Amino acid sequence: LLSHFQVKGPNVGLLGFSKGGDLCLSMASFLKGITATVLINACVANTIAPLYYKDMIIPDLGNELSKQKITESGLLNLVDIWKNPLEEHNHRSLIPLEKAQGPFLFIVGLDDHNWKSEFYAHIASERLQAHGKNKPQIIFYPETGHCIDPPYFPPSTASVHAILGEAVFYGGEPRAHSRAQEDAWQQIQIFFQKYLNGKKSVQHSKI
């Protein structure tokens, strides 16, 4: 990232959404020079596939597809299929985010039907504090679903899942979700400006 011509440096910030979120958590935990990390509806455990880093393997959290539900409109609701990372036999899938050097911002949609983002954000907060680290910043958005895109993107309440190949329900009430996208965008700018550029007050993005 530092060698990319569009990266100012010397600090690097990460922004991850969904599966990209736990990948960013892993990068922040194991790589040097990560100054700030933003997670949008992310899990605190490694998901989907095992993660390999040097001589270490973090297994995926695992799921129980038998617990998936189907909405009245025929969409899959996956929120209950993921195993609990706090159960002892799933602990190895937890990402050691307490090793990270920089702060975290968790963006959480309280109507996320892809996975339990609020639950995962609380796990992250408790884990960091248990290791003597500062609490992460967590922003909760009521009636907001999984896909919190930049502002003025149409709210994505459902789409064909890249892995399953089936239509999945993501949640979110359109008006509340749209407002959350607008606010989250500004909060992300403020967070990165503070921890990457050292600016306490920033001009709001005009997007």
Domains and CATH numbers, the chain: 12-196 (3.40.50.1820)
Query: Which whole-number Å values give the CA distances from 187 to 42, 177, 195, 205, in the listed order?
Result: 17, 15, 12, 10
From the CB of residue 148, how many other CB atoms can be counted at a distance below 10 Å? 29
Tell me the per-residue pLDDT of 63-77, one tens digit each, with 9 for 90 and over: 998 999 999 999 999
Q: In what order do the strands lie in the sheet with 69-70?
A: 69-70, 76-77, 167-169, 158-160
Tell me the per-residue pLDDT of 93-141, one tens digit each, with 9 for 90 and over: 999 999 999 999 999 999 999 999 999 999 999 999 999 999 999 999 9
pLDDT tier, 197 (very low <50, low <70, confident <90, very high otherwise)? confident
- Is 18 an active-site residue? yes
Q: Which of 112, 113, 117, 177 is catalytic?
A: 112
The reported pLDDT for the residue numbered 8 is 77
Q: Which of 22, 29, 146, 177 is catalytic?
A: 146
What is the maximum span of the chain, computed from C-alpha positions, in angstroms?
50
- Is 146 an active-site residue? yes
- Is 204 an active-site residue? no
Q: Which of 18, 26, 29, 117 is catalytic?
A: 18
Q: In what order do the strands lie in the sheet with 137-141?
A: 12-17, 34-40, 104-109, 137-141
